[in-house]
Amino acid sequence: MSESADSPRVLVVEDDAALSEVVCTFLGDEGYVCVPAFSGTEALLLAERAGEKNQPFDLVILDLMLPGLPGDELVGRLRTAGVTAPVIVTSARSAVTDRVSLLRLGASDYLVKPFDLDELLARVEVQLRDRAHGEGREGRAAAALRLGRWELDPAARTFAVNGEPVRLTRTEFDILAAMMAEPGRVFTKRALFELARNEEALTEERTISTHVSNLRAKLRPTGTDAYLQTVWGIGFKLEA
């Protein structure tokens, strides 16, 4: 995908030059403008300068183990400096306490290394879509999602079939929102577990199967439960 003046700007903070290049190249091919930083101090300087030029970054991808300024400290410094862009933390530290601590410091999401590039892309898309909704921006990301007889409004957090509202829990809604944004894509349970991003979903990854089962039960009276398909041994996908 070619870049344009409207291409989202992503600050990639990663001291591993090889991994940084892989991430920047991958996201660049998807139409993102990536700016690498190889230390915490360099990242803070770049973010501050971008703000001064009125060209702030739309998103930050941040490793924790950084020279100069550790990633966990950088998160707080970015927020103090007025950087409001979503911050996706990447780290080999997988303990729930680490994730909770970073989220409380101001991180928007947490991705455990090693990670799949497609999952990283999905996280980026979710964060930018949520940011666009929060700022009331117009465009495709903020538009209602439609699939067959379904319509989901991410901003209003409503879901309807043939115009009739269907009551969903927070996690059920987040699962459908993530999948409707990419119909046809096969989502692993792990990916859905991470994308749901709330306390209910953070309990156990296996609860995703329970949520999907509950979704099907709610959709069965509408005759559209077959949209939600199981890909055995992998996860789930949507097809109308």
Q: pLDDT digits over 140-181, tens only?
A: 444 688 999 999 987 778 899 998 999 888 778 888 988 888
pTM of model > 0.85: no
Q: pLDDT digits over 36-91, tens only?
A: 999 999 999 999 898 888 888 999 999 988 998 888 889 888 887 778 888 999 98
**What are the structural domain ranges in the chain?**
9-134, 144-238
Q: pLDDT digits over 118-129, tens only?
A: 999 998 988 888
Residue 227 pLDDT > 50: yes
Q: pLDDT at position 34, please? A: 96
Q: pLDDT at position 84, please? A: 83
Q: pLDDT digits over 215-224, tens only?
A: 999 999 999 9
Tokens of 182: 């990419």
Residue 201 pLDDT > 50: no
| Residue 36: cis peptide before it, omega within 30 degrees of 0 | no
| CATH fold for domain 144-238 | Arc Repressor Mutant, subunit A (1.10.10)
Residues 6+ apart with CB under 8 A from 182: 122
Level-2 CATH architecture, domain 9-134? 3-Layer(aba) Sandwich (3.40)
pLDDT band at 27 (very low <50, low <70, confident <90, very high): very high
